[in-house]
């Protein structure tokens, strides 16, 4: 008797779990299965399709994207969506796990940082077949932009928006220091002088920016010498002369030591807060480096930020590049690639849809869409559009997407910059060590 | 005499001064979150040292936050979290209790081996287990269901087993023996002797378990793709994208809301920590 | 386990034992067994989450020990962290638990207040507040400035002190250890204290002769668990310093996480994980063995 009751306990527990399980599936799974129940007769010309889609963003993006999906389903009733909105944190952790389990959503929002890794491991599909059969219409997208989603001859990312590096600056701080505002053709020596003067005259930072968490500024710097950070095949660094990186480190060092740029310590303090509280925005610094949508992000706090073209090297080489903002990619494991491509095509080209998006994902790539949006833009959005037109005039060829291993190379770069700024290494040593570390990382990743 | 009385009066005062100042240091981040949830989005980081908003935006923050994501309100996320945490806690604490009783009071073959396994599960970093677990759950068709978040907690966890083992080992064996003489079997001993004495430990485990499941981020992140099954921790993350405009006001407002159930549960259960069963007079 | 004459009693105990651990066993087999074996297997492959794992023998382990300074760095940081954090947190938790175990007003409020740090643990708010205190132009730096001590670099920004801000964060979150101590204090029989009173023992004697010995099983528990959790700590450095400056707060598991998910190096990450398990297991074993010397159990084990 005793034994019986004893063995009952765990049984009860398992049972209760099953009950909970059943009641759960009972009441919550009703909704998604309903549409499938309504249209089970697949005799009609178009088969019912459920497309899964995921993206990262904040509340605004989640809300209007949901609206877009509804719009699309209204237009193409045989398509319904299962969407997974996400914050930026963890977005790619989740995708990696899904890729490992072969459960990636059909359509994924993809970043320049990861597209090469996913492509090289055959996790995302080549879109060229859908371009050639006209499912994916990219005729209105400039060729150079389309190419940003191409890796090893495969188009694995359909670019949604473009952006470019810029120097957002606070005109009031420039005025306060009596420094004239940047011209589109200013040089690094003018830049440095301006930053130092701002520090001298106002005590504020000249230049307050993040130089550690990505390689964009370094990439820009290296492009001035006609080289690139990574070699075309992504297996090693793309520049041979360490002097390039040494010059860069020296400039950062000079600015930091003069107090014209935050130390790593001070920057860490600044970085905890959102972009709305960057020193440039609050009037505590003159300028910084950012992407072209910066002005839009901080518009509610400071609507007067202006965007300048980054400085030129003395050789005057056009080093700016138009960067893909984000992509839509289609999972290789997706059974609905064609329908997914059709949706992406709509997302890129449809004017009504893009009026809803309202350039929140960055500047649209299709030229007709871009024109159609112009009347409804805010002041900073207009500035962003204008800046990008200007940037195109100052831009060189597009940089290849970041190769597999670039996240680790970024860390290696940050380490070396920090070691220099903390006076633990000379720029010469740091540049050599960076080369060694980066080449090892890239070679290891190329092997896999 | 009067001197002694004076120091007796002074002692509680000193105690409370100490306790309150320590307490302020302890709750400050919570106060900060609360204050930030009252501030207008534009001043949260600019005016971040002050606990008093310059521009109040209570209603705005809480309503936009509560609105949730693409039509799913924050209430829905709260409910999901509550179901997962409640069921996971009940199952987890019960199963752990049974296992702990076995490990501490019953001599069965392989006991040490299995206890080693218990300890082992504590040592492996989750980060390398989660992908294989994800694949297993996928095979069992548990992904995208609340069960996938409950199961990992439901069958007991090492922390609670080990904790209760230690508590049970603190209970004198003489009590078991007395109960055996009274005709109790192993089960009888468990219910009549062990369980009542284990109340504080159970309360502790319940508080921990509920909170751990509630705040778990990584597991829901990997296992859950349908927003309507998202838990609170996952939902809060959806307000943030460092590269676009993030609504921090709403984020902090909902952070406050999401902390409430945990605090309420703590207040409910903490009295069991204190209600002495010790007074029932156990002899050492 | 010795086989004695009571074989019938033994078999009954066996059955009861296994029935009682059955739910846990089920969970273990479902959730841990296969993942454990597959992660061991991955540690000998070049698995990156997206590819078919290819067997590469001991390469990951060789790389770890001979060719990865970051591994050694993070291991060093973590050991330092654990050995500083665990004693501090336990002493603090026990001290506060003793204080809160007295009969005074508002005890419930204090208990709740002191547990709150453990609840707000990994939130954005904590990282911001921690920087407001220890960071550049933070509270501490301003206070030091007031009394005439000028600091070039803040505590968080200085590679040699940053780890202490993380340790302090850990000490600050002493709530869970405190609760466990509180529960354990309640388990100590009043009568022990009463008889000690009769013997004329003072407060300190009561503490060292009754409270401390009676608490040893729980001190032991907290010691083991906090050591294990210390080695597995992740959030603390993830939210406040992201491992910086100069990797001075790069906890082992943070490094392991980055290897797995940021650098797509899951095979290597699994190797890191199993080396960590080895280290923790060794330490845990040592603490378990030490039990005979200092832990007092009411119910003696007949081994």
**Residue A29 domain-assigned (yes or no):** no
Tell me if residue A323 falls in helix, strand or coil.
strand
Handedness of CA B49, B54, B58, B62 (dihedral sign): negative
Task: For A302-312, give one letter per residue: b (16+ CB within 10 A) or e.
Answer: beebbbbbbbb
Last residue of a domain, one of A376, A392, A408: A392
Supply the DSSP string of chain C, one letter for each residue.
Answer: ----S-HHHHHHHHHHHHHHHHHHHHHHIIIIIHHHHHHHHHTTB---SSS---B-TTHHHHHHHHH-HHHHHHHHHHHHHHHHHHHHHHHHHHHHHHHHTS--TTHHHHHHHHHHHHHHTTSHHHHHHHHHHHSTT-HHHHHHHHTT---SS-TTTSTTTHHHHHHHHHHHT-HHHHHHHHHHHHHS-HHHHHHHHHTT--HHHHIIIIIHHHHHHHHHHHHHHHHHHHHT--HHHHHHTTT-STTTT--HHHHHHIIIIIS--HHHHHHHHHHHHHHHHHHHHHHHHHHHHH---SS----
Window 50-69 of B: residues touching A by CB (8 A cutoff) are 64, 69
**Residue A83 domain-assigned (yes or no):** yes
d(CA B162, CA B96): 9
Tell me if residue A6 falls in helix, strand or coil.
helix
d(CA A139, CA A136): 9
Q: Give the residue carrying structure tokens 């779990």.
A: A17
**C-alpha C56 chain-centroid distance:** 33
Judging contacts by C-beta atoms under 8 Å, the chain C residues touching residue A329 are none
Pair A136, A180 in one domain: no
Q: Where exactly are the structural domains of chain B?
A: 2-56, 69-280
Q: How many CB atoms sit inside 10 A of residue C30's CB?
A: 17
Pair A149, A257 in one domain: no
d(CA A310, CA A171): 16
C27 to B15: CB separation less than 8 angstroms, yes or no:
no
Q: What is the largest CA-CA distance in chain A?
A: 93
Best probe of the A interface among C262, C266, C268, by most A CBs < 10 A, is C262
Chains with ≥3 CB–CB distances under 8 Å to A: B, C
Supply the DSSP string of A20-54, one letter for each residue.
Answer: HHHHHHHHHSHHHHHHHHH---TTSSS--EEEEEE
Q: What is the largest CA-CA distance in chain C?
A: 78
**Residue A7 domain-assigned (yes or no):** no
Q: Give the residue carrying structure tokens 């007031």.
A: C146
Nearest residue of A to residue C266 by CA position? A96
d(CA B252, CA B44): 10
d(CA B187, CA A7): 10
Burial label for C301, CB within 10 Å (0-12, 13-18, 19+), is exposed
Tell me if residue A304 falls in helix, strand or coil.
coil
d(CA B68, CA B236): 9
CATH number at residue A339: 3.40.190.10
Q: Is B150 on the interface with A (CB under 8 A)?
A: yes
A5 to B225: CB separation less than 8 angstroms, yes or no:
no
Judging contacts by C-beta atoms under 8 Å, the chain A residues touching residue C46 are 447-448
Please tell me which of the candidates B33, B125, B166 has its beta carbon nearest to residue C220.
Answer: B166
Pair A267, A171 in one domain: yes
Pair A238, A314 in one domain: yes
Looking at residue A9, what is its pLDDT? Answer: 45
Q: How many CB atoms sit inside 10 A of residue C143's CB?
A: 10
The residue ranges of chain A whose pLDDT is under 50 are: 1-44
d(CA C257, CA C263): 9
Best probe of the A interface among C67, C151, C152, C264, by most A CBs < 10 A, is C264
Judging contacts by C-beta atoms under 8 Å, the chain A residues touching residue B226 are 32, 82, 84
Pair A368, A404 in one domain: no
d(CA A400, CA A228): 9
Judging contacts by C-beta atoms under 8 Å, the chain A residues touching residue B42 are 276, 300-301
- Rounded to the nearest integer, the mean pLDDT of chain B is 86
Q: Give the residue carrying structure tokens 């899951």.
A: C266
- Distance from the Cα of A322 to chain C's closest Cα (Å) equals 25
d(CA B259, CA B238): 17
Find the range with the poorest average confidence among A188-192, B249-253, B276-280, C153-157. B276-280
Mean pLDDT over residues B164-190, rounded? 87
- Distance from the Cα of C42 to chain B's closest Cα (Å) equals 10
Render pLDDT for B36-94 as a digit per residue (tens, 0 to 9): 899 887 777 777 778 888 888 888 899 988 988 878 899 999 999 999 999 999 999 99
Task: For B244-281, give one letter per residue: b (16+ CB within 10 A) or e.
Answer: bbbbbbbbbbbbbbbbebbeebbeebbebbbeebbeee
B108 to C14: CB separation less than 8 angstroms, yes or no:
yes
Cβ neighbors of C277 (< 8 A, separation 6 or more) are B120, B123, B124
Pair A176, A199 in one domain: yes
Please tell me which of the candidates A121, A122, A263 has its beta carbon nearest to residue C48.
Answer: A121
Q: Which two tokens stand for residue A181?
A: 């505002």
Pair A388, A254 in one domain: no
Nearest residue of C to residue A119 by CA position? C50
Pair A373, A331 in one domain: yes
d(CA C13, CA B107): 6
Instruction: Check: CB of residue A438 under 8 Å from CB of residue A412.
Output: yes
Please tell me which of the candidates C131, C159, C261 has its beta carbon nearest to residue A96.
Answer: C261
Q: Which two tokens stand for residue A372?
A: 């159609």
Cβ neighbors of A105 (< 8 A, separation 6 or more) are A52, A53, A54, A82, A84, A98, A331, A334, B225
d(CA B65, CA B226): 19
Judging contacts by C-beta atoms under 8 Å, the chain C residues touching residue B201 are 183, 187
Judging contacts by C-beta atoms under 8 Å, the chain C residues touching residue B136 are 30-31, 34-35
**Considering only CA atoms, which of B213, B215, B68, B74 is closest in space to residue B148?**
B213
Please tell me which of the candidates A3, A269, A418 has its beta carbon nearest to residue C135.
Answer: A269
Q: Give the residue carrying structure tokens 């199952």.
A: B91
- Distance from the Cα of B269 to chain A's closest Cα (Å) equals 23
Judging contacts by C-beta atoms under 8 Å, the chain B residues touching residue C40 are none
In A209-277, which ranges are continuous DSSP H helix?
216-223, 243-257, 264-271
Instruction: Check: CB of residue C34 under 8 Å from CB of residue B111.
Output: no
**Considering only CA atoms, which of C183, C154, C165, C178 is closest in space to residue C85?**
C165
Mean pLDDT over residues B211-235, rounded? 91
**Considering only CA atoms, which of A120, A51, A103, A68 is closest in space to residue A354?**
A68
Judging contacts by C-beta atoms under 8 Å, the chain B residues touching residue C193 are none
C247 to A415: CB separation less than 8 angstroms, yes or no:
yes
Q: Is A105 on the interface with B (CB under 8 A)?
A: yes
Structural domain boundaries, residue A430: 164-322+396-447
A125 DSSP 8-state letter: -
Q: Which two tokens stand for residue A49?
A: 């399709």
Q: Is A89 on the interface with B (CB under 8 A)?
A: yes
A265 to C153: CB separation less than 8 angstroms, yes or no:
yes
Element (H, E) at A299: none
Pair A424, A334 in one domain: no
A402 DSSP 8-state letter: P
Q: Is A57 on the interface with B (CB under 8 A)?
A: yes
Nearest residue of B to residue A272 by CA position? B45
Instruction: Tell me the mean pLDDT per 10 residues along chain C, length 303.
Output: 55 89 94 93 93 92 93 96 96 91 82 86 78 82 84 85 91 90 84 84 85 91 93 87 88 94 93 96 94 81 46
Q: Structurally, how many domains does chain A consist of?
A: 2
Looking at residue A58, what is its pLDDT? Answer: 85
d(CA A254, CA A206): 12
d(CA A103, CA A289): 38
Judging contacts by C-beta atoms under 8 Å, the chain C residues touching residue B122 are 225, 228
d(CA A296, CA A303): 8
d(CA B171, CA B198): 9
- Distance from the Cα of B150 to chain A's closest Cα (Å) equals 9
Looking at residue C300, what is its pLDDT? Answer: 62
- Distance from the Cα of B152 to chain C's closest Cα (Å) equals 7
Window 1-40 of B: residues touching A by CB (8 A cutoff) are none
Pair A127, A214 in one domain: no
d(CA A304, CA A286): 13
Mean pLDDT over residues B189-202, rounded? 88
Please tell me which of the candidates C21, C269, C301 has its beta carbon nearest to residue B102.
Answer: C21
Looking at residue B173, what is its pLDDT? Answer: 86
Judging contacts by C-beta atoms under 8 Å, the chain C residues touching residue B172 are 298-299
C50 to A123: CB separation less than 8 angstroms, yes or no:
yes
Which CATH number describes the domain made up of B69-280? Answer: 1.10.3720.10
Pair A131, A239 in one domain: no
Q: Is B244 on the interface with A (CB under 8 A)?
A: yes
B241 to A61: CB separation less than 8 angstroms, yes or no:
yes
Burial label for B57, CB within 10 Å (0-12, 13-18, 19+), is buried
Judging contacts by C-beta atoms under 8 Å, the chain A residues touching residue B44 are 274
Nearest residue of A to residue B136 by CA position? A101
Q: Could you tell me how many CB contacts below 8 A there are between chain B and chain C?
A: 283
C135 to A7: CB separation less than 8 angstroms, yes or no:
no
**Residue A14 domain-assigned (yes or no):** no
Instruction: Check: CB of residue C220 under 8 Å from CB of residue C291.
Output: yes
Render pLDDT for A145-182 as a digit per residue (tens, 0 to 9): 898 899 889 999 999 999 999 999 999 999 999 999 99
A329 DSSP 8-state letter: E
Please tell me which of the candidates C19, C50, C156 has its beta carbon nearest to residue A121.
Answer: C50
Please tell me which of the candidates B30, B99, B211 has its beta carbon nearest to residue C20.
Answer: B99
Q: Could you tell me how many CB contacts below 8 A there are between chain A and chain B?
A: 149
Chains with ≥3 CB–CB distances under 8 Å to C: A, B
At B279, the pLDDT band (50, 70, 90 cuts) reads: very low
- Distance from the Cα of B46 to chain A's closest Cα (Å) equals 6
Q: How many CB atoms sit inside 10 A of residue A292's CB?
A: 26
Judging contacts by C-beta atoms under 8 Å, the chain A residues touching residue B227 are 83-85
Pair A262, A335 in one domain: no
Please tell me which of the candidates C48, C50, C135 has its beta carbon nearest to residue A268.
Answer: C135
Please tell me which of the candidates B23, B49, B94 has its beta carbon nearest to residue C114.
Answer: B23
Render pLDDT for B224-245 as a digit per residue (tens, 0 to 9): 999 989 999 888 888 877 777 7
Judging contacts by C-beta atoms under 8 Å, the chain A residues touching residue B230 are none
């Amino acid at each position: 008797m005793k034994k019986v009751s004893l063995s009952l306990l765990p049984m009860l527990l398992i049972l209760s779990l099953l009950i909970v399980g059943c009641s759960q599936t009972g009441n919550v799974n009703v909704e998604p299965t309903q549409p499938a129940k309504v249209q089970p007769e697949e005799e009609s010309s178009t088969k019912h399709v459920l497309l899964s889609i995921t993206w990262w963003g904040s509340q605004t993006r989640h809300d209007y994207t949901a609206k877009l999906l509804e719009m699309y389903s209204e237009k193409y009733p045989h398509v319904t969506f299962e969407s997974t909105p996400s914050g930026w944190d963890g977005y790619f952790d989740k995708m990696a796990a899904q890729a490992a389990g072969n459960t990636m959503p059909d359509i994924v929002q993809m970043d320049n940082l990861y597209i090469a890794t996913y492509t090289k491991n055959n996790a995302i599909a080549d879109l060229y077949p859908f371009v050639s059969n006209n499912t994916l219409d990219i005729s209105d997208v400039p060729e150079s932009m389309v190419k940003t989603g191409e890796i090893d001859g495969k188009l694995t990312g359909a670019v949604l928006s473009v952006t470019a590096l810029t120097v957002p600056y606070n005109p009031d701080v420039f005025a306060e220091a009596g420094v004239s505002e940047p011209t589109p053709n200013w040089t690094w020596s003018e830049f440095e002088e301006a930053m130092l003067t701002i520090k001298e005259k106002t005590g504020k930072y000249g230049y307050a920016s993040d130089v550690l968490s990505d390689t964009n500024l370094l990439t820009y710097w290296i492009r001035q010498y006609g080289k690139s950070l990574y070699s075309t095949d992504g297996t090693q660094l793309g520049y041979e002369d360490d002097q390039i990186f040494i010059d860069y480190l020296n400039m950062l060092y000079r600015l930091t030591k003069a107090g014209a740029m935050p130390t790593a310590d001070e920057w860490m303090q600044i970085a905890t807060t959102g972009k709305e509280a960057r020193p440039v925005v609050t009037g505590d610094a003159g300028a910084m480096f950012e992407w072209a949508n910066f002005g839009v992000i901080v518009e509610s706090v400071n609507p007067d930020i202006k965007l300048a073209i980054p400085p030129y090297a003395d050789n005057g080489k056009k080093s700016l590049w138009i960067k893909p903002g984000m992509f839509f990619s289609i999972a290789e494991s997706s059974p609905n690639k064609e329908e997914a491509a059709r949706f992406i095509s709509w997302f890129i080209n449809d004017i009504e849809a893009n009026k809803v998006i309202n350039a929140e994902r960055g500047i649209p790539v299709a030229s007709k869409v871009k024109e159609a949006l112009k009347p409804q833009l805010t002041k900073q959005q207009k500035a962003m559009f204008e800046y990008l037109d200007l940037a195109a005039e100052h831009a060189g060829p597009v940089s290849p997407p970041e190769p597999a291993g670039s996240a680790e190379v970024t860390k290696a770069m940050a380490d070396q910059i920090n070691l220099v700024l903390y006076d633990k290494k000379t720029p010469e040593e740091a540049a050599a060590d960076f080369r060694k570390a980066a080449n090892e990382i890239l070679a290891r990743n190329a092997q896999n | 005499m009067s001197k002694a009385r004076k120091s007796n009066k002074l002692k509680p005062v000193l105690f409370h001064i100490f306790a309150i100042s320590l307490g302020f240091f302890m709750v400050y981040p919570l106060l900060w979150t609360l204050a930030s949830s009252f501030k207008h989005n534009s001043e949260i980081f600019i005016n971040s040292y002050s606990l008093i908003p310059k521009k109040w935006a209570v209603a705005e923050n809480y309503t936009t936050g509560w609105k949730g994501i693409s039509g799913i309100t924050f209430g829905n996320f709260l409910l999901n979290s509550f179901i997962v945490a409640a069921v996971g806690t009940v199952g987890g604490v019960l199963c752990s209790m049974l296992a702990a009783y076995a490990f501490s009071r019953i001599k069965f073959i392989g006991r040490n081996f299995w206890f080693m396994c218990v300890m082992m599960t504590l040592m492996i970093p989750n980060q390398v287990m989660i992908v294989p677990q994800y694949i297993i759950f996928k095979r069992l068709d548990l992904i995208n269901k609340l069960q996938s978040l409950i199961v990992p907690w439901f069958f007991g966890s090492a922390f609670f087993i080990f904790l209760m083992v230690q508590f049970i080992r603190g209970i004198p064996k003489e009590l078991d023996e007395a109960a055996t003489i009274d005709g109790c079997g192993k089960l009888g001993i468990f219910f009549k002797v062990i369980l009542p004495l284990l109340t504080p430990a159970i309360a502790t485990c319940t508080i921990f378990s509920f909170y751990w499941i509630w705040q778990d981020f990584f597991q829901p992140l990997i296992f859950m793709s349908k927003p309507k099954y998202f838990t609170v921790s996952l939902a809060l993350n959806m307000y943030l994208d460092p590269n676009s405009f993030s609504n921090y006001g709403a984020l902090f407002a909902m952070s406050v809301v999401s902390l409430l159930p945990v605090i309420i549960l703590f207040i409910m259960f903490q009295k069991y920590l204190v209600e002495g069963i010790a007074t029932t007079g156990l002899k050492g | 386990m010795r086989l004695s004459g009571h074989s019938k009693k033994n078999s009954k105990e066996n059955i009861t034992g296994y029935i009682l651990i059955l739910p846990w066993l089920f969970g273990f087999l479902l959730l841990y067994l296969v993942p454990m074996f597959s992660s061991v297997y991955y540690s000998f492959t070049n698995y990156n989450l997206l590819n078919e794992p290819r067997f590469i023998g001991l390469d990951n382990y060789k790389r770890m020990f001979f060719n990865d300074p970051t591994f050694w760095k993070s291991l060093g940081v973590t050991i330092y962290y654990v050995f500083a954090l665990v004693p501090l947190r336990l002493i603090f938790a026990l001290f506060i638990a003793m204080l809160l175990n007295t009969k005074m007003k508002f005890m419930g409020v204090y208990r709740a207040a002191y547990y709150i740090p453990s609840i707000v643990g990994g939130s954005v708010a904590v990282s911001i507040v921690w920087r407001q205190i220890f960071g550049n132009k933070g509270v501490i730096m301003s206070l030091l400035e007031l009394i005439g001590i000028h600091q070039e670099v803040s505590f968080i920004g200085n590679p040699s002190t940053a780890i202490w801000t993380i340790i302090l964060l850990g000490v600050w979150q002493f709530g869970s250890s405190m609760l466990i101590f509180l529960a354990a204090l309640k388990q100590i029989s009043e009568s022990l204290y009463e008889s000690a009173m009769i013997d004329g023992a003072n407060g300190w004697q009561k503490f060292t002769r009754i409270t401390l010995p009676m608490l040893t099983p729980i001190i032991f528990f907290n010691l083991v668990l906090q050591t294990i959790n210390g080695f597995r700590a992740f959030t603390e450095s993830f939210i406040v310093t992201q491992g910086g400056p100069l990797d001075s707060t790069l906890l082992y598991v943070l490094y392991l996480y980055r290897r797995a998910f940021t650098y797509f190096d899951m095979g290597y990450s699994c190797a890191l994980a199993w080396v960590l398990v080895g280290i923790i297991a060794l330490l845990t074993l040592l603490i378990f063995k030490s039990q005979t010397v200092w832990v007092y159990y009411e119910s003696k084990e007949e081994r």
